Amino acid sequence: MKDSSAPLILASASPRRQEILEAHGFSPVVIPSDVEEVLPEGELFTPEQTTIYLAELKAESVLDSLDPGAWPDGCRILGVDTIVFKDRIIGKPVDESDALEILRSLKNDSHEVISGVCLIHAEPPRALSKQVFSDTTTVRFGDYSDEEILAYIRANPPYDKSGSYAIQSDWGRHVLSVDGDIENVIGLPFLKLSEYI
């Protein structure tokens, strides 16, 4: 199952996830999923269940879009969803005001970064196995001003980032501690993924 030579399809347009995989020796084929990231109506999900559900949705969407006859043996499809959680699920900011409010809410406190992962191993003709899991990293921020937030988000547009920040950017100076896999905060919990991939 862990054939590192088998093609790996990343069901995400995130350059950060691609960079993490490449840093660990993988050359993913990027096929972004175009599914609408919504949960089923009437069902209650924990934050972890939310990320796993959406990761499965993305991976299965890309799987369904592939031509079965064109699959290389052992093809793998990787779907990932990452959220920030502090009292509620915090998504990507919609505008500057939203980003300001999000980063205000995270200062002088801890929050969780939760990723759900779905890894589908595919063998022709559509013999499948699937692993799903979530991983959580706790991040603690120190103090900072509104002026520092605005300077950061204007220099580093955060509109594709859950929680409105990138820990690997100069925002990292506000991080007091990271408990868990820092690559999970960047967008892909590779430490745990490496057990499956």
Q: Where are the alpha helices (DSSP H) in the chain?
A: 15-23, 47-65, 96-106, 146-155, 182-186, 190-193
Burial of 149 (0-12, 13-18, 19+ CB in 10 A): buried
3-class secondary structure, 73: coil
Distance CA 67, CA 123 (A): 12
Among 81, 95, 98, 181, the active-site one is: 81
Distance CA 116, CA 49 (A): 8
Distance CA 89, CA 2 (A): 33
Q: Where are the alpha helices (DSSP H) in 24-174?
A: 47-65, 96-106, 146-155
3-class secondary structure, 183: helix
DSSP 110-123: EEEEEEEEEEEEEE
Q: Is 81 in the active site?
A: yes
**Residues recognised as catalytic:** 81
